Amino acid sequence: METKTERQKLNRIKVVLAETGHTGKWLAEQLGKYYVIVSKWCTNTSQPDLYTLQKIADILRIDNRILLVPNN
């Protein structure tokens, strides 16, 4: 089982929200989701599905690739 420090970071939702001046609470309201779900995405505890990821990008008016951690 992975610990918090070993968990792979797959999304940049928290970073992008900070860069755009928004909060997880705001995003949850925009998506009609519970804040705890968005919080788990922000900490990479769980991941949104691709449809939701695109919806987040649309709400933030950014390319959905910006929400993903690049694979080096």
Q: Determine the Cα–Cα distance for residues 51 and 54; give it in Å rounded to an integer.
A: 5
| pLDDT the model gives residue 60 | 98
Q: How many domains does the chain have?
A: 1
More confident residue, 10 or 1: 10
Q: What is the mean pLDDT of residues 49-70?
A: 96
| pLDDT the model gives residue 71 | 81
> Residue 24: inside a domain, yes or no?
yes
The domain that holds 48 is classified in CATH as 1.10.260.40
**Domain containing residue 30:** 13-67
> Residue 30: inside a domain, yes or no?
yes
> Residue 72: inside a domain, yes or no?
no
Asked whether the beta carbons of 57 and 67 are under 8 A apart, the reply is yes
> Residue 3: inside a domain, yes or no?
no
Residue 4 tokens, joined:
């918090």
| pLDDT the model gives residue 8 | 85
Q: Determine the Cα–Cα distance for residues 62 and 8; give it in Å rounded to an integer.
A: 23
Sequence-separated (6 or more) residues with CB below 8 Å from residue 25:
35, 38
> Residue 34: inside a domain, yes or no?
yes
Q: What is the mean pLDDT of residues 46-63?
A: 97
Residue-wise pLDDT tens digits, 5-49: 557 899 999 999 999 999 999 999 999 999 999 999 999 999 999
| pLDDT the model gives residue 59 | 98
